[in-house]
């Protein structure tokens, strides 16, 4: 396979260039940046989890109750194309403009009409189109806000900054599940609330977050941009960071994205407990475990100057976690699974953003390259239900859990060939 062939290590300047801009300013990010990153990412994950994990499955179940698994996979698979295209394209456009804030603000504000449209439709075709639009605007937002770390955070503080971003995952998940569950009978209102959360976060980030514009880049033709995206993946360390992230995220969201259907159709719940009520318990449990793991692993990775070690620990733990619901398909088993899985992926999210910012090929293309890496983050989250529906059809939910664990372990193994990061 091409990915396994040895590739020359990039020149030192190409590897270290992304660090220089942030390091030149100070030994720490500007005041208030980390809380803003936390808030901006919390809003983003609230929408992703609230829509993808609760509202969209419930809406599809209402439209097509007998084909809900296949239809959710279809909607997710088609929308993945929009997520995959818009993220690196938006990153390249923000690189060209020399600004991040306008793209964060634009994507955040457009989330409101996109969610309003999604909440107003009542056919699988229109749901697909609505979620494609939602993915497009959210990936404009995500591409820009993810690029803030390499732009404004020094290398020595990137583990802590990555932890601030990572904390947005569990907190956003809790918020998304609470909103999704609270408006499970009123899709339109739930979608609107989640869109407004992102819009408010975008306004706050761009109003309070200091940005020093960089010189805009000259326009490039479409063919040149496609070639540049391909060039990013030719860099040895960057390529393996992409593969590792894609596998880990796919393994995680293949299971978590189908949590509602798992609870409905596979897990033995206590008498009187609904699947949505169970999800409202499991998500905070998982999120608290994530918060603990992120709070410990992010700063510790800065202190030890080690990133790959923590990714390896994360994948090993997630591989073990999936054995729990396979052996005990009960609510208690799911609680234990949620704790172990939360600890594992909290460790991953705490250090992964720091790791990937250290392998960016060129400083002047940071947003474009982070956009390429965000394809490995956003794409699997949206493709995961499509993959999960296939696995469930082939071997049931036990196969889904097993595949999630295997993907996580493979993701950790993909990090090992990275040469420039410990």
pLDDT tens string 344-388: 888 877 777 677 777 777 666 665 676 677 667 766 766 777 788
- How many domains in the chain? 1
162 lies in some domain = yes
398 lies in some domain = yes
87 lies in some domain = yes
Please give the Cα distance from 352 to 158 (Å, whole number): 10
pLDDT for 237-271, tens place per residue? 888 888 888 888 888 778 877 777 888 888 988 98
220 lies in some domain = no
Question: How large is the average pLDDT for residues 91-112?
Answer: 87
Q: What is the pLDDT of residue 1?
A: 34
Q: What is the pLDDT of residue 221?
A: 52
What backbone torsions phi and psi does residue 121 show, to the nearest 5 degrees?
-100, 160
40 lies in some domain = yes
Burial 140-166, CB ≥16 within 10 A → b, else e? bbbbbbbbbbbbbbbbebbbbbbbbbb
| Burial class of 394 by CB neighbour count within 10 A (0 to 12, 13 to 18, 19+) | exposed
291 lies in some domain = yes
Domain that holds residue 130: 13-211+227-415
Of 14, 396, 21, 56, which Cα lies nearest the Cα of 234?
A: 14
CATH of the domain at 110: 1.20.1250.20
């Amino acid at each position: 396979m091409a990915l396994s062939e040895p590739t020359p290590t990039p020149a030192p300047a190409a590897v270290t260039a992304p660090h220089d801009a942030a390091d030149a300013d100070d030994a720490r990010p500007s005041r208030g940046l980390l809380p803003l990153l936390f808030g901006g990412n919390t809003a983003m994950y609230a929408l992703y989890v609230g829509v993808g994990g609760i509202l969209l499955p419930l809406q599809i179940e209402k439209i097509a109750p007998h084909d809900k698994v296949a239809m959710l996979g279809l909607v997710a698979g088609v929308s993945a194309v929009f997520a995959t295209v818009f993220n690196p394209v938006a990153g390249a456009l923000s690189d060209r403009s020399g600004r991040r804030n306008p793209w964060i603000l634009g994507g955040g504000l457009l989330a409101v009409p996109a969610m309003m449209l999604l909440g107003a439709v009542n056919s699988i075709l229109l749901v697909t189109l609505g979620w494609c639009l939602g993915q497009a605007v959210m990936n404009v937002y995500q591409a820009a806000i993810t690029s803030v770390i390499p732009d404004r955070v020094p290398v020595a503080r990137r583990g802590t900054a990555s932890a601030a971003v990572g904390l947005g995952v569990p907190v956003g998940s809790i918020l998304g599940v609470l909103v999704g569950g609270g408006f499970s009978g009123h899709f339109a209102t739930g979608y609107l609330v989640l869109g407004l959360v992102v819009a408010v976060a975008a306004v706050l980030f761009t109003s309070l977050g200091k940005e020093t514009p960089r010189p805009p880049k000259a326009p490039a033709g479409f063919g040149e941009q496609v070639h540049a995206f391909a060039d990013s993946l030719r860099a040895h360390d960057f390529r393996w960071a992409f593969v590792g992230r894609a596998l880990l995220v796919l393994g995680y969201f293949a299971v978590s994205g189908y949590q509602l259907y798992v609870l409905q159709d596979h897990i033995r719940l206590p008498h009187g407990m609904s699947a949505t009520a169970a999800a409202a318990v499991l998500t905070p449990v998982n999120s608290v475990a994530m918060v603990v793991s992120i709070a410990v692993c992010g700063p510790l990775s800065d202190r030890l100057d080690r990133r790959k070690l923590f990714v390896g620990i994360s994948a090993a733990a997630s591989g073990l976690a999936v054995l729990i619901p396979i052996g005990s398909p009960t609510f208690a088993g799911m609680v234990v699974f949620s704790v172990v899985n939360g600890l594992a992926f909290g460790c991953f999210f705490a250090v992964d953003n720091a790791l990937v910012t250290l392998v960016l090929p060129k400083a002047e293309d940071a947003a474009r390259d982070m956009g390429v890496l965000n394809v490995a983050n956003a794409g699997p989250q949206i493709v995961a239900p499509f993959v999960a529906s296939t696995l469930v059809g082939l071997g049931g939910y036990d196969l889904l859990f097993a595949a999630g664990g295997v993907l996580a372990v493979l993701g950790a193994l993909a990090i090992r060939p990275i040469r420039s990061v410990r």
